[in-house]
Structure 1
Amino acid sequence: MTALDTQADVMEAVTACAAAAKRAAPELARATDEAVDAALGEMAARLSSARTAVLAANAEDVAAAEESGMSAGLLDRLRITEDRLLGMAEQLRLLAGAPHPERERPIGELAGGLRLVERRRPVGVIGANYEARPNVTVDVASQLIKSRNAGVLRTGSAALRSAATLIAEVVAPALSDVDIDPAVIRLVPSADRAAAGALVRLPNLVPLVILRGSGDSTRELSLLAAKHGVRTLAHADGGGVLYVDAAADLDKARELITAGLDRLGVCNRLNLLLIHRSHYESALPSILDTLRAAGVRPSLPPHDHAIGYEWALDPEREATVTVAPVDGGLDAARLANEETSGLAAGIVTEDRGAAEEFMTAYTGTGVFWNATTRLLDGFKLLGVPETGINIDKVPGPRGPVTYPDLCLRQYAVLPKS
């Protein structure tokens, strides 16, 4: 089979998934709140009843990834443990109990005996492209179901067995149990990278695609989507910043450094550590001890890389944190704004004025005072899973994107009576 034939087959497979999801979408859009929440509850129950099949499929994925030389951080993201399975089920139960947004709200009255209301409507079909994180299969599927959107999911080869098992053993039967067509959530069966490109080329079937993955690949897909008239919610870059102020409690700073490094392969981990220049020399030995205890090496000045370089995307050097002195909170905020993705930044200080100055100057998605950037997460902040974290600098959903964000606004003009 030629490369062209293979690419054509992939496009055909993605299109078939999208067409099936679009046909099923109206049924989910009409579903009652009770049916939607029951489906999510069934998904939680099936994560337990299908535990053996899910863990076995994931073990095969992990074994293959280890053999291919996947880094420790990426393996951590790929692996499903018993505890993580329990956590996934608990998140589904909480999502099932979360309130549904009002489908219609009054705005005001118009001349001629008319009234204006704002309606929320599902997008229809939403795509999602993500790499070796099988839990994202459940996170995204559940958010789409709660928002009454059909979905086409595409994951990379490393997590495909796990994702396919989660769809077949958890998501699809849970939907069938409440008489919702399981075709509303489709998984692209191909591991070919061309499937990601195919997913962002179908504006009439999949007008919106959620993109999660490494920065370069996600940016490339965003550009391709734009060329084909497909909108994206892209989570391309990350890297948390922590600024240790002159008025910081050093013990608290060390605690937050440790908390920010509990997992290295995630976007909101500590990536850039900035220390007030007046305390840099005195605080550095203690901070270096903390980094060593976390199994992380510092990248100290002079740096041979961009100061905001995201270590989580570097499999060979992910256990690294960049450390640098700064002249104060405004300097730290400037660096975080100009040299990093703008995902999240925090300040450690006992000085309220310094904290407010830093938080006002930082323009990124999440800002933290005496708290770790690891909290920038849909479940930790909002109590529900997320589809991703959007860091766009334009109006629209920003930060953890959850089910209330996945809608279209429609104005309706109606008679008053």
Structure 2
Amino acid sequence: MTDEVAKTVEECARAAKQAAPSLATASNEAIDTALGAMADRLLTSKDSVLEANHADLEKARADGMSAGLLDRLTITEDRLTGMAEQLRLLAAAPHQERSVPISSLDDGLRLVERRRPVGVIGANYEARPNVTVDVASQLVKSRNGGVLRTGSAALGSAQRLLDEVIAPALSAAGIAPEVIQLVPRAEREAAAALVSLPGLVPLVILRGSGESTRSLATEAATHGVRTLAHADGGGVLYVDEAADAETVRALVAGSLDRLGVCNRLNLLLIHTAVYDQLWPTISGALDERSVRPSLPPHEHAIGYEWALDSEHEATVTVARVADLTEAVTIANEQTSGLAAGIATEDAATAETFFDAYQGTGVFWNAPTRLLDGFKLLGVPETGINLDRVPGPRGPVTYTDLYVRQYAVLPAER
């Protein structure tokens, strides 16, 4: 890592920490006003944002970026409008209670749980400029400062969003705009620098391809920095022998509307008793989405995530299974644990599947694409955490970005 890159990241972190108190002490009204202003500015600055995004796309095409990655990088007018709508919903969402009564103690004392901001939270993400707004808005709602770092492909779009949408909206609401920082460096070294500052940025949200994100999480651990990592994905669908053919068709097609996202259908497991009967329906749904089935014998791990393969994104792994037990064992042991669904008309079978699957999201006759903060919870997410330890799991939103403080007080008079 060069000294220049490390210095730039540290300067961003110090600026965010210095400005953080203006956000931590802001009123609920000021925060919601800032979020509403971001939504308004997204629309009034539409042409400028789309211009910056067009420049990023032109450069990415010239560099040979795959179609799936280009889709992630693209901001369309519809997507921009959707970003504004999500900001308005977030502004209208209730704030976390900052002090929650727990119990009464001896000697007339009472125990209260206080919820405090972390301080400054980092975020590292790849070529998805919409994540700049998603993460910044969640940090603002939770009263945390932020240091954002994105890949070189999306840096121009992200910088325009910060300069013309996020910072002016904060300033107009009386909040120091420096509280949200964007690292102005394209070097990958900036990501490593971001996870090495425990005194300034104790928590970093990591989103991106598996290997790079896992590597950053390991690097963060050596520096005592905690992470909320979203490294792997891939939805699983088990088609039970009691599945309805039309439901299966709709689930397969509905789960493949976008191929470069983590919660798309990745692995299709079909009960052997209905495989031949349902295959024409399933094959037709795959054809509808121009997706190729990877059939046995597989030359790859059965849980291989196609969304991360720029050469073969339009692929779904298909396999026969003898029963639910085999299907859920594969989903638990050979996939990321992001999400799995079952297609069946048998409620008892669905309940057995729900009890057996250990992953973050489980679905009955519903697509795994629903494992998304906005679709499930009505607010944007910072990412989807797959940890199997206590803490925020699944879509992480503003309601998760705090630390607990226990306070013992005299009895109320």
Q: Would you say 1:175 and 2:137 are equivalent positions? A: no
Q: Aligned equivalents of 2:357 and 2:322: distance in 1?
A: 15
How many residues matched? 412
Q: Would you say 1:189 and 2:206 are equivalent positions? A: no
Q: Would you say 1:96 and 2:91 are equivalent positions? A: yes
Q: Would you say 1:32 and 2:27 are equivalent positions? A: yes
Q: Would you say 1:256 and 2:287 are equivalent positions? A: no
Q: Would you say 1:72 and 2:49 are equivalent positions? A: no
- Any idea what SS the aligned residue of 1:126 has? strand
Matched with 1:370 is 365
Matched with 2:53 is 58
Displacement of 1:115 in angstroms is 1.0
Q: Aligned equivalents of 1:45 and 1:101: distance in 2?
A: 24
Q: Aligned equivalents of 1:269 and 1:195: distance in 2?
A: 30
Q: Would you say 1:275 and 2:270 are equivalent positions? A: yes
Higher mean C-alpha displacement, 105-114 vs 194-203: 105-114
Matched with 1:380 is 375
Q: Would you say 1:305 and 2:300 are equivalent positions? A: yes
Matched with 2:208 is 213
Displacement of 1:237 in angstroms is 0.1
Q: Aligned equivalents of 2:281 and 2:102: distance in 1?
A: 57
Q: Aligned equivalents of 1:158 and 1:106: distance in 2?
A: 47
Note the aligned Cα RMSD (angstroms).
Answer: 0.7
Displacement of 1:289 in angstroms is 2.0
Aligned amino acid, residue 347 of structure 1: I
Q: Aligned equivalents of 1:282 and 1:92: distance in 2?
A: 46
On the 8 A contact 1:330/1:357 being kept in 2, the answer is: no
Matched with 2:402 is 407
On the 8 A contact 1:143/1:387 being kept in 2, the answer is: yes
Structure 1: 4+ residue segments shifted above 3 A: none
Aligned amino acid, residue 304 of structure 2: Y
Aligned amino acid, residue 77 of structure 2: E
Q: Deviation string for 1:190-247 (max 9, x for gaps)?
A: 0000000000000000000000000000000000000000000000000000111100
Q: Would you say 1:319 and 2:314 are equivalent positions? A: yes
Using the size of structure 1 for normalisation, the TM-score is 0.98
Q: Aligned equivalents of 1:47 and 1:154: distance in 2?
A: 20
Q: Deviation string for 1:106-139 (max 9, x for gaps)?
A: 1111112211100000000000000000000000
Percent identity, aligned pairs only?
A: 70
Aligned amino acid, residue 357 of structure 2: Y
Aligned amino acid, residue 12 of structure 1: K
Aligned amino acid, residue 24 of structure 1: A
Q: Aligned equivalents of 2:100 and 2:263: distance in 1?
A: 35
Q: Aligned equivalents of 1:373 and 1:329: distance in 2?
A: 18
Q: Would you say 1:243 and 2:247 are equivalent positions? A: no
Using the size of structure 2 for normalisation, the TM-score is 0.99
Structure 2: give runs of 5+ residues left out of the alignment: none
Aligned amino acid, residue 226 of structure 1: A
- Any idea what SS the aligned residue of 1:278 has? coil
Structure 1: give runs of 5+ residues left out of the alignment: none
Q: Aligned equivalents of 2:97 and 2:285: distance in 1?
A: 48
Matched with 1:347 is 342
Matched with 2:226 is 231
Displacement of 1:281 in angstroms is 1.9
Aligned amino acid, residue 68 of structure 1: D
Aligned amino acid, residue 282 of structure 2: I
Q: Aligned equivalents of 1:162 and 1:178: distance in 2?
A: 23
Q: Deviation string for 1:64-103 (max 9, x for gaps)?
A: 1111111111110100000000000000000000000110
